[in-house]
Structure 1
Amino acid sequence: MFRIRRPLRRAFLLGLPTVWGALAITYKLACPLAQQTGLGARVATSAVFFAVGTGLVLHLRATLLRELRQARRVAGAAQSVLLRPLPPRIDGLGVAAAQLSADRGASVGGDLYEAIATEHGVRVVMGDVRGHGLAAIGTVAAVLGCFREAVHDEAELGSVLHRLERALARHLRERARAEHPSAGPPPDTPVVEEFVTVLLLEIGRDGEVHALNCGHPWPYLLSGTRVEPLARADPLPPLGPFPLPRELPAVRVGRLLPGESLVLHTDGAEDARDCHGRFFSLPTAIAAAVGDDPVTPQTILRTVFTALHRHTGGRPTDDVALLVLRNERVRERAPEGVRDGDTCGSAARARPAPTHPLPTNHV
């Protein structure tokens, strides 16, 4: 049925221009008025050809608009599969996420995020693929697809990260063979320069937060009216260019207490500039979400995107993705020796140094 409809559709699209062209040629060759050289005959001939040209332009415009609507429907379907809408609440955590594309009319890009409740806790990924376009979308699909399976299968966060690394390497090899079949082995192709920054978080039922960071910006912790980075340690290299260490113990970065929020973001947020070249202050925008109204992930998201839109004049130069997690669980009595006001950030400053090596220079 599809093979039959496609030629018919092409014939229909070409039918109207063909009819208009045949009418114009018939008028020029067969109509006596078109053979005359008087002013009235020339005006009539010009009107006929003007009508033909107008009809062709309108037909072409209608065809392009139809194709554009179809492309946007396909992009929307791809977005719903790749970056599927997150539920407003996951295992006691309020959730809100959205992205802003630098390309007007684009629905998907190189940013990725996901939050899933597992038996090990709520596991979250935020990442940024180098580049844009269909190639970046394919990489996003490979990484997210692997993450959605690995978080349930692997007990350790480091094992999840190793799974993501293998999935990315496999995807890049397949892409290299498809895009450059005559370029030789994968090391001879430009695909080897691709990389993905990834941040993995695991939030337990008690609010304990463990993390593994591969070249991605650390999220911000909103506690009361204070906004501070979740951690300040140097991240591992991004996935792709360099192999990860064999041992990857997750780093404890503190606790997310009830009423506190984490704001995960891609580097497009803090790299956004205004017309004078000034960078966007993400912590200031997050703090502005604290007001008289109850603070929710949706209000934080809306406040930040409004401030970002105002700062860039509605023309961001890079894709931006935000994911807000707020602990809405019932506050429990703090264990002995731990102050009730102890926050994720203060615990992070008191934590021991990570046991795995961290590079001094990172992307």
Structure 2
Amino acid sequence: MRSLQTLRWLPFSVMLSVAVVDLLAGPSLVFLPLLTLGPAFASVSGGVRRTAMVGAVALAICLPLAYHNGLLTDWQNYLTVISILGVTGASMLAARLRLERERELANVRQVAEAAQRVLLRPVPRRAGDLRVALSYTSAAAEAQIGGDLYEVVTTPHGVRLLIGDVQGKGLGAVETAAWVLGAFREAAYDEADLGDIGDRLEVSLARHLGGEQFVTAIVAEVRDGEMELVHFGHPPPLLIGPDGTSRTVDPPEHGLPLGLALLDATPAKPHRVPFGEGDRMLFFTDGVIEARNPDGHFYPLAERAVLLTRDEPQAALDALRGDLVAHAGGPLLDDAAMLLLHRQGG
């Protein structure tokens, strides 16, 4: 907000500075051509009318100063007036094109967000003895909606979940996410083994992805006292114990992302970790751990995991999200999805 106000007042500050310097320098040095900086800067943040108004102010400053310097009828002053008019006209055109592009990007982003909301249906807040919390923060980089995806389903085999991140941005990434979620929702009910779910996802993507596109993902299933996971090149989740201690759940072997099976035919292997009463498991996409603060430091998720120890999982995850945005100092550059599972005691 402060930077926007600075940009709005910058044209007037520049023109005022030029006028003061010209008065102090006297008729021997003429700085009036620099008044063209006013409308040029105005086109960066203002509209067409504002840019035209700034150009008129530049002329209103130029003519009295030229008269004061005895240059009102001099050819140099004519060139200055022509320069101000020319730069003002070009700046008005630039402002119009910028506004049209901003409107176009806003429309594309609205379409992408609408498609994403339809695609990412609300997850259940309770599944068996699990309490589920969800946080999704969209990036603010123009219309570059990402392909973060998640799902939690209760099946005859138990509670199963998926979290993933599609390579790329925009509507293409949303479309790919739709294929992944559709395949998972079907396979989660049909397949008894998590590895077979991964195979179904791979087959589905092979029919729709091209080139070197891929999807990082984790497929997991909650069982009695443990959780089984299959990693497909996705950041490992964070396990938070009842006492607040946390650790990263790294797989014994890192599998390739979905869509890259041709590079290595070895399937990703499931592994199990203890997940008992009072434990919490945080799944997230790379937009969380890759969020940087103004100094360029990544978000220290493991250090901030203590925020997830609140009794209410959604309140805990909301606190973590607020801390993430505060760390970034503004809008995130990449979508950030977080899914928190809490196994209740008793």
Same fold (TM over 0.5): yes
> Deviations for 1:160-219, whole angstroms, at most 9, x for unmatched residues?
0000001111112xxxxxxxxxxxxxxxxxx31111111111102x13211110101110
What secondary structure does 2:277 align onto? coil
Task: Name the structure 2 match of 1:235.
Answer: 254
- The structure carrying a bigger helix percent of its residues is 2
Cα distance in structure 1, aligned partners of 2:273 and 2:218: 13
Per the alignment, residue 332 of structure 2 pairs with 316
The corresponding residue for 1:210 is: 228
Q: What displacement does 1:233 show?
A: 2.7
Q: CA deviation at 1:250?
A: 2.3
- Per-residue deviation, 1:241: 2.3
Partner of 2:34: none
SS of the residue 2:146 aligns to: coil
2:141·2:334 contact (CA, 8 Å) conserved in 1? no
> Which residue in the other structure is 2:211 paired with?
192
Q: Secondary structure at the match of 2:211?
A: helix
Superposition map of 1:44-193 within 5 A? 74-103=111-140, 108-172=145-209, 191-193=210-212
1:298 is matched by which residue type in structure 2? Answer: Q
Q: Does 1:298 align with 2:314?
A: yes
1:266-345 matches, within 5 Å, as 266-290=285-309, 294-328=310-344, 330-331=345-346
TM-score of the two chains, using structure 1 as the length reference: 0.62
Partner-residue secondary structure (3-state), 2:172: helix
Contact 2:139/2:145 (<8 A) preserved: no
Deviation at residue 75 of structure 1 after TM alignment? 4.0
Deviation at 1:271, TM superposition (A): 1.3
Task: Tell me the distance in 1 between the aligned counterparts of 2:107 and 2:138.
Answer: 19
Q: Who is 1:54 aligned against?
A: none
Q: TM-score, normalised to structure 2's length?
A: 0.65
CA–CA separation in structure 2 for the residues paired with 1:327 and 1:202: 13
| C-alpha deviation, 1:121, in angstroms | 1.1
SS in 1 for 2:117: helix
Q: What letter corresponds to residue 230 of structure 2 in structure 1?
A: L
Say if 1:106 and 1:324 are closer, same or farther in 2 by CA, change over 3 A.
farther
Distance in 1 (CA, whole Å) between partners of 2:160 and 2:232 is 16
CA distance in 1, matches of 2:267, 2:165: 24
Residues 162 and 271 of structure 1, relative CA distance in 2, 3 Å threshold = same
Q: Distance in 1 between matches of 2:151 and 2:175?
A: 16
Unaligned runs of 5+ in 1: 1-56, 173-190, 332-363
Deviation at 1:119, TM superposition (A): 1.1
Cross-structure match for 2:76: none
Q: 1:252 to 1:106 in 2, by over 3 A?
A: same
Q: Which residue identity is paired with 1:268?
A: G
1-structure distance, mates of 2:329, 2:268: 42
Equivalent pair of 1:93/1:325 in contact (CA under 8 Å)? yes
Q: In the alignment, is the contact (CA less than 8 A) between 1:211 and 1:250 conserved in 2?
A: yes
Q: Answer yes or no: is the 8 Å Cα contact 1:210–1:251 preserved in 2.
A: yes
**Aligned equivalents of 2:142, 2:186: Cα separation in 1:** 31
Separation in structure 1 between the aligned mates of residue 218 and residue 251 of structure 2, nearest angstrom: 14
300 and 234 in structure 1: CA distance in 2 versus 1, 3 angstrom threshold:
farther
- Distance of aligned partners of 1:107 and 1:153 in 2 relative to their CA distance in 1, 3 Å threshold: farther
Separation in structure 2 between the aligned mates of residue 278 and residue 241 of structure 1, nearest angstrom? 31
Cα distance in 1, alignment partners of residues 281 and 321 from structure 2: 16
Cα distance in structure 2, aligned partners of 1:121 and 1:146: 18
What percentage of residue pairs aligned between the two structures are identical? 40
**Pairing 1:251–2:271 present:** yes
What one-letter code is carried by the residue in structure 1 that aligns with 2:315? T
**How many corresponding residue pairs?**
250
User: What letter matches 1:319 in structure 2?
Assistant: D
SS in 2 for 1:288: helix
> What per-residue deviation string (whole Å, max 9, x for no partner) do you get for residues 253-301 of structure 1?
22x11211100011121111111111110112221333xxx42221221
Q: Partners of 1:285 and 1:248 in 2: how far apart?
A: 30
Q: Which runs of 5+ in 2 are unaligned?
A: 1-94
Q: Is 2:184–2:201's contact at 8 Å kept on the other side of the alignment?
A: yes
CA apart distance, 1:84 = 0.9
Q: Contact 1:198–1:238 at 8 Å: present in 2 too?
A: yes
Written as runs of structure 1 = structure 2, the 5 A alignment for 1:23-42 is: none
